[in-house]
A and B are shown apart, each in its own frame.
Chain A
Amino acid sequence: MRRKVLLFAALVLGIGLLGLAEEKAPCVIKLGAVNPLGDITGDQMTKAMRLAVEEINAAGGVLGCKLELVVMDSEFNPAKAAAAIEKLITVDKVDVLIGGMSSGVHMGEIPILKKYQKVTVWAGAASHVCEEALKGCDWYFHLHPWDYLQGASEREALEAVFEKYGIKVHRMFVAYEDGAFGTISYQGWAALFKDYEVVGESFKSAAVGGGDYTAVLQHAKAENPDLFLWIGYEADALPIMEQAKAIGFEPPIFLGAPPGWPAEFGKSPLSHGVSLFAMWAPSLKEVNPVSKHFWDAYIARWHEEPVTYFAPLGYTNVYVVAQAIERAGTLDKEALIKALEETEYLSPLGEVLRFSPSNIIKHQGFKAQKLLQWQNGEQQVIYPFELATADFIYPFHFGGE
């Protein structure tokens, strides 16, 4: 009888200890991201996010909990991205949604985001159409500048540089790819610079079977513009420079506006002096310690250089959320929103990130692009002047001749 009682007591004690052990299992805070993994932007953004998560966990995690990143591939497909969001929320039960790229994809995701209204700190998408769809969504935070914010910052940057360097610009020629991206971008540019003489002409991008820019470059040459801007894709970047050089077209300012630049662009002597707008340049590591840390850590971890600004943007995305959760002390939605509103994060993109209202939403992060210029194979920051890493080369000459 006594033996049975002792056995029973041991059994109860064992079950109790097991329960305690389970209660003491490490807690996990889940971040869910939907990125285009087959594209270099999505690939590097995801790697940067993973780097940030590893750093945070190595430093003790968030609120004593391990941070976990769950990433789904959007495949640049709105329907697949929407399904991915639904899965992240309902199956993976993520606590916060982050990441993202492409306005077209985001339009497919927004209805699902609005269905569940989970705290979302979205990295990508630039179209104001997305912002219009998010009216009244106070649980939504956005990092990438909207298109009209980019435009306003581009004008501010150019005019500041014109003034500083005594440059006179009256006539602009804009060569734009004839798809939606190029056409809408050109219309935005023409509206933004309506007090300048802006001439535009479309071309067929190499990305969709084109690649012969001679006609549009000849027309640009005939116009003799003070500034030449081309709006197209990565595949157009070097061929446009080569064909411009071949026909002897050398405008005083050569400005390019692709979403990204090809790997070998800087290696070509024709790149020297080409200007561009972007949110980040590797040269920022010379003037920003967070940028330097990010650069070194990313290369050490992934054995490749970050080449797209979506990499530091993804890194920023994770840190902003992690620090907000830490400040809030909880994952409670209202407390987290309040903590995010208090964000002041020195980002590897160069500036301090704070959230403030844009035209429609309450919580807009970055509001400006930077003016950069290719110099000796590297992108240098020209504006904002407080982050400048080089002087503006003017006028443009091929190969710095």
Chain B
Amino acid sequence: MPALSCKKRIWAFAIALLAVAAVIAVCKPYVLIQGLQRGGLYALIALPMALILGVVGIVNLAHGEFMMLGAYFAYWMSVSTGIDPLVAMIPTFAAFLIVGALTYYGTIKPVLKAPELNQLLVTFGLAMALTELANLLWTSRPRKLPLPYAYSSATIGHVTFGTFGFAYLAGALVLLLLLLWFLRHTRSGQAALAVGQNPRGAALVGIDVNRTYLLVFSLSVALVGAIGALFLVGHSIFPGVGSPYTLKSFCIIATAGVGNLPGILWASVGLGTAEALVSSFRGYGGWADLVFFALLIVVIMVRSYRKRVT
């Protein structure tokens, strides 16, 4: 039997996915809703990390901490000026562009040519420092803005569900499209791809490698900082809130494949839905994390097996 062409494989995959989604929607509609919303949040946070890890190969273990700081920045702006956190995303983005640039020059640039372990250690130390800084400035007491639209809901048939979570999915879709456009249709984006593939080769053809790293790193930090403002709407924030998302983002990037930005969205929704499905069975909520990481292991093993076979 001849192997399916790539296009036909994609169609087959899409149809299978729709069929699974339809079954879930009929049997456990909350699972589909929760999966989409949860997956949207994971994708939104993972995409900036995928940009710097997948495109230019910088490992940033302080990714979640930048999101945390962005959330605190938006919180502070909201409390002192009264502006909505969604509006605060804009000044947060601008502020964290500067934060990202300073962080790059202060910690990343010196270790760019060093082994990856050095990058890991530096950014791990940075993560610890940022967490302690937040603890000193705001203490460990959680903060949460009471925003009425955070608990907006809709009812379809007998199903009543929260709707704000779809903002994460919408945000992830918009961000993905923007990043793809940036990478494919702008000189800076194409330079970033070139640097990620071969920094020396990129330098030889006249690309300013240092400036490209600076731009991509700052952009990633600015994006995740602004996402922190959106995160603040539906979640309590405290100094340790970001670190679990660093780990999850890594896992999602590993599941999707390093450099595969569209795959981040699929992987996130898939993993989010798997978590929601497991949680929907009474008494199995504690298995959700196990399923998340088990799926990751399975995907990586299948991918490795395929590479060996081909």
Contacts and interface: CB of A to CB of B under 8 A. Distances in A.
A198 interface: no
A206 B152 contact: no
Most chain B CB neighbours (cut-off 10 Å) among A40, A233, A268 = A268
A300 interface: no
A247 B33 CA distance: 12
Contacts of A234: 141-142, 236
A239 B30 contact: no
Interface in B238-263: 238, 240-241, 243-245
Given A262-B141, A262-B143, A247 B282 contact: no
Given A38-B135, A43-B139, A262-B236, A208 B244 contact: yes
A236 B237 CA distance: 10
A239 B142 CA distance: 11
Contact of A242 (B141, B150, B279): B150
Contacts of B34: 212, 214-215
Interface in A228-250: 233-239, 241-243, 245-248
Contacts of B201: none
B11 interface: no
Interface in B67-113: none
Given A214-B30, A215-B279, A270-B146, A245 B285 contact: no
Interface string A201-223: 11110111101101110110000
A247 B146 CA distance: 17
Contact of A204 (B30, B139, B289): B289
B285 A206 contact: no
Contacts of A265: 144, 146
A209 B241 CA distance: 7
Nearest to A399: B148
Contacts of A209: 243-245
| A interface, over-half SS | helix
A236 B234 CA distance: 11
A214 B277 CA distance: 12
A39 interface: yes
A101 to B, nearest CB: 13
A264 interface: yes
A245 B235 CA distance: 15
Interface residues of A, number: 43
A114 interface: no
A400 interface: no
A206 B276 CA distance: 16
B38 interface: yes
Contacts of A235: 142, 144, 236, 238, 241
Given A204-B285, A206-B235, A243-B151, A267 B146 contact: yes
A21 interface: no
A374 to B, nearest CB: 12
A212 B38 contact: yes
Contact of A246 (B38, B139, B143, B161): B161
Contacts of B188: none
Interface string B143-175: 111101011110100001111100000000000
Nearest to B75: A264
Contact of B236 (A206, A214, A219, A247): A206
B239 to A, nearest CB: 10
B152 A246 contact: yes
Contacts of B139: 38-40, 43
B151 A245 contact: yes
Nearest to A236: B236
B206 interface: no
Given A218-B280, A239-B234, 7 more contacts: A38-B140, A202-B286, A204-B288, A211-B236, A214-B162, A218-B30, A248-B153
The 9 A-B residue pairs with the shortest CB-CB distance in the complex, in nearest-first order = A246-B162, A209-B244, A268-B146, A215-B279, A235-B236, A242-B151, A235-B142, A248-B160, A238-B144
Interface of B: 30, 34, 38, 135, 139-146, 148, 150-153, 155, 160-164, 234-236, 238, 240-241, 243-245, 276, 279-280, 282-283, 285-286, 288-289
